[in-house]
A and B are shown apart, each in its own frame.
Chain A
């Protein structure tokens, strides 16, 4: 299928969200091997100096995105201000992303500050969502990150998060935290 690459490009161009591999597979009626090759070729072609967009793997799918260095021009086009997350929001988001599923009390213990308002704002932006209830007295809500979080930072998945520095006694802390909450409740 010589025009497979062109058909993928057309779909990616027209889609407003990342297209998953199996979705492309069923839409294009192609076989796995040739689709994977075509995607790789396309990705390679975009990844070339002088191009304004890249083909990126985001949130389990493929998406065309503009290159960061051309942000000022795109912002002029859309006449919008760049969206910025506050420090508190980024910090809370990081805690939720690395430690999910996590309750509000646990977020607040780790950050040392009240985080209810920030969590609510992040929920409104759909970056954070409720994923369940913790099986402890009071059944507090558990928070996790959603699809929109991966899309915001252009991550393939949660395993794509930046590596955290390690330190000794990590497990001990998790244990002492649990004990702390037993006392608090």
Chain B
């Protein structure tokens, strides 16, 4: 079966935000009334929807993960992660109290390595989990690699990337991507990944040099003006421009190139993947996501103002406690703020997924008879560690 051509893109997202809203809203309600416990099932429902609206060639994807396994994974991560960390903290403090500062320092230092390892390990396991729960034509992905090797590789490649003044970061990022995806498979086929960091260096150097240039220019402006307020103003203006406008744009430019490189060099048997998003599209994505936040704030403002008028808070005097007079109205305001803001998260995930699928392309040939079921092991728990370490925040 041919994959992707001029007439038809291999990947298509046909979701509708109006169909997603009831899912997000009922998830929010159930998450509230269960004090947050439902959020694992909420995540599962979100993914089921997003996957089911994603078509690859002739059939949609299917998310087969469950809320229960995510919940179990979370509990396991708490036990496996936080208990030793708390224990270690107590141990370090006890050692300091007994004057064993050298040993305590060594322990604290090794602690940093443990965290690095866990971040790498969790990233690997999350990818493995997601592939093993993604079905297409009844076939799933996965990996037999438990991810320990990747965790070790993550430690030294991250450190090596940072050591050379950060100049090797593009190298470590592409290498780690290749390590991760090279261990994954779909059906009987391994993913093959061979990204190169050379093409990324130009954008990375730009990103790297701008802060340096901005500081030098800023100091130059300040010195040449002889410390006049206008010169200082120019310096602060330049630095602000560099750090809040130019730097994020350059970072976006770098990430756009990074994703085009790593996905563009990813293949599965004879299927070759591409990612088409350029910096401008990434910028529009983030602009839209920021717009969602603003929209939520605007929506929240209406009931809040109404409640404020109703509760007579406009007569509030400085120093007076607004909570003392009208607890009901204040709780109402908090709820009015929380509801729209909590809906922003699901819709950002929706937009991000749509963005990812719309820009994902694949070409080549696929033989359905040879695409047999994956023989990789299926874990009984979700991406607990990944969630607990908040690696997904990226």
A binds B: no
Which B residues have a C-beta under 8 Å from some C-beta of A?
A: none
Which A residues have a C-beta under 8 Å from some C-beta of B?
A: none
